């Protein structure tokens, strides 16, 4: 079991996030699928948390890589999503979990900025940088729409800056072959931002959503 845990990669958190979000999307149509997705997401998150506890040196080594460090934000986003699963049954523990995940994500943003952005090298920038600064659209579950909307604008502003930087990086420097598939992340942050905007805005602007949704 320890060998299995040690082999769990940080990007597994991204799979967990996708599963948890898919489950929430399917909930109105199939509760069984909602639960199944949530259980699978929780299983991956538990494995990754176990790796952090049992093999901290491995995690520390991975976090020196800017790609893995930025992708690690999906762990906290997954915990936020899982908190929404827990909320109908145990609101206070769910809110504590959500708040802790938000705080951990904020700490990651500060750390990532200090370690990688302040020592900026254009050829070392990748689309995964978007992930670190994108907010999750889970605030309404806990009545935190105003906070969630403020976080959306922060993430949106970061996205606009990074969009220019990442685009310049690909125009001026060829990406290593192993990192080329990361290009598929390019448009994902805007989709997540729009979801956050629509979930937290009192009166969403159709024009704003339409233009940015393209």
- Start-end of H helices in 87-187: 91-112, 129-133, 145-172
The per-residue pLDDT for 176 is: 75
Q: Which two tokens stand for residue 111?
A: 């750390």
Average pLDDT over the chain, rounded to whole?
A: 87
pLDDT single digits (tens) 169-187: 888 878 777 667 777 777 6
Whole-number Å distance between alpha carbons of 189 and 196: 10
Ranges of beta strands (E only) in 12-148 are none
Tens of pLDDT, residue by residue over 85-125, are: 999 999 999 999 999 999 999 999 999 999 998 888 888 88
Count of Cβ atoms closer than 10 Å to residue 55 Cβ: 16
pLDDT of residue 207: 63
Tokens of 20: 């948890």
Question: Sorting pLDDT into bands at 50, 70 and 90, what band is 139?
Answer: confident
Q: Is the dihedral of CA 141, 144, 148, 149 positive or negative?
A: positive
Instruction: Identify the residue with better confidence: 157 or 195.
Output: 157
Cα torsion for 103, 107, 113, 114, to the nearest 10°? 160
Q: Is the pLDDT of residue 13 over 90?
A: yes
pLDDT digits (tens, 9 = 90+) for 54-80: 999 999 999 999 999 999 999 999 999
Q: Work out the pLDDT band at 196, boundaries 50, 70, 90.
A: confident
């Amino acid at each position: 079991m320890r060998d299995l845990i040690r082999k769990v990669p940080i990007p597994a958190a991204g799979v967990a996030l996708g599963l948890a979000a898919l489950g929430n999307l399917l909930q109105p149509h199939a509760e069984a699928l909602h639960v199944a997705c949530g259980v699978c997401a929780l299983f991956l998150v538990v494995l990754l948390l176990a790796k952090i506890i049992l093999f901290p040196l491995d995690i520390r080594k991975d976090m020196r890589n800017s790609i893995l460090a930025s992708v690690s934000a999906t762990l906290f986003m997954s915990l936020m999503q899982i908190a929404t699963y827990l909320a109908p049954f145990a609101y206070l523990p769910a809110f504590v979990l959500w708040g802790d995940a938000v705080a951990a994500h904020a700490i990651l943003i500060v750390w990532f900025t200090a370690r990688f952005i302040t020592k900026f090298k254009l050829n070392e920038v990748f689309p995964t940088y978007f992930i670190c600064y994108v907010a999750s659209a889970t605030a309404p579950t806990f009545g935190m729409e105003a906070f969630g909307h403020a976080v959306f604008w922060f993430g949106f502003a970061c996205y606009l800056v990074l969009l220019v930087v990442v685009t310049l990086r690909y125009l001026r420097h060829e990406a290593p072959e192993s990192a080329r598939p990361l290009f598929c992340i390019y448009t994902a942050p805007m989709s997540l931002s729009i979801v956050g905007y629509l979930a937290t805005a009192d009166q969403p602007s159709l024009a704003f959503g339409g233009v940015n949704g393209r």
